[in-house]
Amino acid sequence: MRIITGSAKGHRIKAPKGLKTRPTTDRIKESLFNIIPDVSNQRVLDLFSGSGNIGIEFLSRGAEQCYFIDNNASSVKIIKENLKKTDLIKKANVYKNTVDRAIKILSKKRVDFDIIFLDPPYNKNLVKPTIEEISKNNILSKEGYIIIEHESSLNLPERISELVNFDTRKYNDTSISFYRREEG
């Protein structure tokens, strides 16, 4: 796993040992950043962060700030190591917490995000409830996007709360889906 471009280009990212994480592949990352190429000055939330691979890629490409949320202590430790190694730690906030609790805390602090990326464990039915929690707690900025990495066999609805799907790309067993507020 490596950072593709930006200030940390070429840096190798470590993954937590012994965990069943599925790091986002370079092919999927390249596609994601072709769809939303300019992330400069964006506030990013990386939920179910794992190694921090995606959030670090956002920071490397110029995102203003990224919050990393994972409930596994090994993952949180690896994320911090990866951020230090890439010299991006000053632009990051890393928290060991459950996603639903973190969303509520961020809402109470009135923090919102331009991009929210989530890559929950497969086959756990976490996508729809997580998006509903994001919507209910109003942590997505008006023009913001939610990007979900999920198993291709999962058919996400066209609409979740006030958010609509505007793109889905399939890569064998993995898909990425994009949601935003309905225009109009």
Residue with tokens 């602090």: 109
**Residues with Cβ < 8 Å from 93, sequence gap 6 or more?**
65, 66, 67, 68
**Could you give the number of structural domains in the chain?**
1
pLDDT, the chain, mean: 93
CATH of the domain at 97: 3.40.50.150
* pLDDT range class, residue 183, cuts 50, 70, 90: confident
The answer to whether residue 169 sits within a structural domain is yes
Write the pLDDT tens digit of every residue in 34-73: 988 799 999 999 999 999 999 999 999 999 999 999 999 9
The answer to whether residue 115 sits within a structural domain is yes
Q: How far is CA 47 from CA 7, 148, 181, in A?
A: 22, 10, 19
Q: Within 25-121, where are the H helices?
A: 26-35, 53-60, 73-85, 99-108
* pLDDT range class, residue 19, cuts 50, 70, 90: low
The answer to whether residue 163 sits within a structural domain is yes
| pTM for this entry | 0.94
The pLDDT value recorded for residue 26 is: 81
The range of the structural domain enclosing residue 136 comes to: 40-181
The answer to whether residue 34 sits within a structural domain is no
User: pLDDT > 70: what percent of the chain?
Assistant: 97
- Number of separate helices (H) and strands (E) present in the chain: 5, 8
Q: How far is CA 34 from CA 17, 30, 38, 41, 74, in A?
A: 30, 6, 9, 17, 31
